[in-house]
Amino acid sequence: MPHNRARLDLPPVTARTLVKNLAAAADGPATVSGWVETVRDQKKVQFVVLRDESGAVQLVHPRTDVEEPGSDPLATTISGLTTGSFLTVSGELKHDERVKLGGLEVKIETLERASTALDLPIAEDSSIDKRLDWRFLDLRRPEQNLVFRVQTTFLHALRSWWVENDFIEIHTPKLMASASESRAELFEVEYFETKAYLAQSPQFFKQMAQPAGFGKVFEVAPAFRADPSFTSRHATEFISVDAEISWVDSHEDVMRMHEQLLVAGLTAVKEKHGAEIEAAFGVEVSVPATPFPRIPLAEAHRILESRGYTVPRADGDLDPEGERRLSEYVREEFGHEFVFVTDYATGIRPFYHMRHEGDPSLTNSYDLLFNGTEVSTGAQREHRIEVLVAQAKDKGLDPEELGFYLDFFRYGVPPHGGFGMGLSRVIMLLLHQSSIREVTYLFRGPNRLTP
């Protein structure tokens, strides 16, 4: 007897059809599974809108208990359905252009209730905080389903571009012995007999891949910032999209890589979801032309001042209003949703950013703005050990505390650079949403650790 004979003797599994595939199916028997969105319990006929992960379909049941109430068990079951209950329904699929929902319906023959829902605690007009309290229910909304399908398509396109261009995917540790950026933004955790810190970025470890000879690397992974900000674009845990490449001549090489990557991602989103995004969010996805506009920070200040706005920050970094106004200028002048703001002052940037040759007050770095908000920082890194040590001291850092990092540069390393980009910010701005809370699967902020 074959080893798998018992499996072969099992009864066939009922074929479930996704709602999105019903339109292409012929009239006849069909089985669908999903949750109840609405029930219209009329005197002569009952209608149920059933939604699954791909769409919604109308189910119909002509009652047979009009003359004898209670004589139709199926009608009694449908009358007792609650919003959110999960069902499997088999019946007769019929295409009918008179049906407003998709031009088809399924006449119910059998109904199996997988689970019964209590009265739902949220509604479409509930506040964002209340919806986040019940995020698993909030995610049932078709707009939310679309958000994460868009994110999936976007990330798949980025990965495909990286792989096609010979990048290596890495997974760096999120428990660290010391800071990778500002110590003020570290989460400290107990680690056996000592302390560890949650990684703010994979910066040091993706740079480690350069002396390792990997050449070009990428990572998509969580990062953590102990930043007590309550803005629409900040989170304490977020997904960081990172890349680092060897043998760059300047940050211009990083920007070229960055913009090609984004064009690949947005092209895929537009091709697969463009019509859905326009219907759900009223947003037309556009694929940006390359090269993206590039504006040095000093010139950005002059542009803003000529338009009646002076950036209030003492260090000269752009504030959110400055980013928004500069992006308005770029849309007017270049018809573009993106702009690289380049050549940041040394005082704004970390010690490992390479400084301009001949002008150490500036760095080979950039911020990328998308629809009025910064989504990424990139730079050429300083790879010369003696210069790196001097720059660390200039920032008030102790080279002894940076020992493991500085070791990367003591045994040979090529010129290199890269960027880190916040995934939720990109998706938020792509879909013109008001907050990253709307596009993060489970948001984490200063006052939110659940669900």
Going by the annotation, the residues of the binding site for L-aspartate are: 181, 225, 377, 381
- Name the helix (H) or strand (E) containing 420: strand 416-422
Buried b / exposed e over 316-343, threshold 16 CB at 10 Å, is: ebbeeebbebbbebbeeeeebbbbbbbb
Binding residues for ATP, by number, are 374, 422-425
Binding residues, by number, are 181, 225, 374, 377, 381, 422-425
Residue 136 burial class via C-beta count within 10 angstroms: exposed 0-12, middle 13-18, buried 19 and up: exposed
Closest of 39, 63, 61, 62 to residue 50, by C-alpha? 39
Cα separation, 409 vs 177, in Å, equals: 19
What count of other Cβ atoms lies within 10 Å of the Cβ of residue 140? 16
For 333, the 3-state DSSP assignment is: helix
Distances (CA, A) of 9 to 4, 6, 15, 16, 170: 9, 5, 17, 20, 44
Whether omega before 291 lies within 30 degrees of 0, making that bond cis, reads yes
Residue 144 burial class via C-beta count within 10 angstroms: exposed 0-12, middle 13-18, buried 19 and up: middle
